[in-house]
Amino acid sequence: MPHSAPPTSYEPLDVAGVCTLLTRHPGLRERLGGASAGWHVREVGDGNLNLVFIVEGPAGALCVKQALPYVRAAGPSWPMTPQRAFYEHAYYQAVAPHGAGLVPAIYHYDPQRYCIVMEFLSPHIILRRGLIAGHRYPQMASHLGEYVARASFFTSDLAEPFERKMQRMALFAGNEALVRISVDLIFTDPYCDSPRNRHTSPQLDLLATELRADAALKVAAARFGQKFLADAQALLHGDLHSGSVMVTDTDSRVIDPEFAFYGPIGFDLGAFMGNLLLSWYSQPGHATRADDRSAYRDWILQQARTFWESFHHRFLALWSEHGDGDAFARRMFSGAHDPAALREARERFMSDLFADMLGFAACKMIRRILGFAHVSDFESIVEPALRARCEAAALSMARRLLTQPQRFRSIDDVINDVRD
């Protein structure tokens, strides 16, 4: 899988290096206040790929994220081009003007050190942790629906001349090392025997074997894999799970877009929806005597609805108001009967996105249970039998989504099926 060797000039940052970097830039220095001797720097990265430093000074704080030249979880034996920091920054640049404040502010990009200096989000926590803890975030789902609508609409052929989209698509085509990870770990490995796979064993052994022998399911997953590679609808975040969202009760921010590329809008939708469903299925593993999490499960399903509905509502509103692109060019539709036909075509487009969302959600659920990278929603359930029961139920839902798509025409169909 590894594609690019680390650059020979690469130097990982340490606390002193972070201070030197920040001191060189008056704007960053001022944001922190005082001299670097008075700054508090700590490394907090817990992801698979990066160093993350929080720097606090007398006047303020900021965050420094540096891409490592290898997969942090695997060590230098699995090299990974730090050039992904370039794409992460490019994604923020493309989306921030349309993101409605739902991404962190970006202060500086250092191409030599592959690092991004950005807003320190506080008191935000990673949404996945909040979901495991059973916290409710009243605005999160509508924020995320709004976010995906804005980020995808404004980078699609519906919003702008195709030349701009094609140039951006060509730029992000360079992010192939990260796309390779998605292709292998989401759409291929989980469906066959791969040394990178793991699952809760022996409890899920039989299910894993069954799923890998389910030809109809594999064909359905492969169709979504093909769509992932060939359906260049919009600039995607590319890894929009609940670990890529930071929240408070009133604010939500999308982070870590290093997997950005041009693909099907349903992939971002499905990543988020799939992770909400994974959270739902993991809840029995987090039940306590005081809280069996059944009310919280209902809340999660409401969020699934709100996420889709706010996406749907906002995307259609943007299309009506800002549909200035080459697709469905406005000048074609000035006739008396056109508004009704257009409305119907747009609804059909939304139905296609809905179906894509569910298919991709299923692929994301399966890879988190049978593939290489798992999620803490399940991993933090200590008792294997209990964890396996939660995972098995999630797998079963994912299989229904992939093999019986005709059963899921609306978000109600999804919610009712999960609940029953």
Chain contacts with its own copies (rule: CB under 8 A):
3, 156-158, 162-163, 165-167, 169-171, 173-174, 176, 179-180, 183, 187-188, 191-192, 212-213, 215-216, 218-219, 221-223, 225-226, 229-233, 326-329, 331-338, 340-342, 344-345
* Cβ distance to its own copies smaller for residue 212 or 305: 212
* Cβ distance to its own copies smaller for residue 105 or 329: 329
Q: Phi, psi at residue 296, to the nearest 5°?
A: -65, -35
Q: How far is the CB of 370 from its own copies (least distance, A)?
A: 13
Structure token pair of residue 383: 């008792």
Q: How far is the CB of 207 from its own copies (least distance, A)?
A: 15
**Rounded CA separation 13/148 (Å):** 33
* Cβ distance to its own copies smaller for residue 291 or 344: 344
Q: How far is the CB of 181 from its own copies (least distance, A)?
A: 12
Q: How far is the CB of 222 from its own copies (least distance, A)?
A: 4
* Cβ distance to its own copies smaller for residue 159 or 418: 159
Report angle CA 256, 262, 266 to the nearest 5 degrees. Answer: 80
* Cβ distance to its own copies smaller for residue 139 or 188: 188
Q: How far is the CB of 142 from its own copies (least distance, A)?
A: 27
* Cβ distance to its own copies smaller for residue 105 or 170: 170
Q: How far is the CB of 244 from its own copies (least distance, A)?
A: 23
Instruction: Give the C-alpha distances (Å, rounded to integers) separating 52 from 59, 88, 114, 189, 208.
Output: 20, 14, 12, 29, 35
Q: Which residues contact 59 (CB under 8 A, 6 or more apart)?
A: 30, 31, 32, 33, 34
Contact 208, 193 (CB under 8 A): no
Q: Phi, psi at residue 109, to the nearest 5°?
A: -125, 130
Contact 154, 318 (CB under 8 A): yes
CB atoms within 10 A of CB 135: 15
Q: Is the peptide bond before 12 cis (omega within 30 degrees of 0)?
A: no
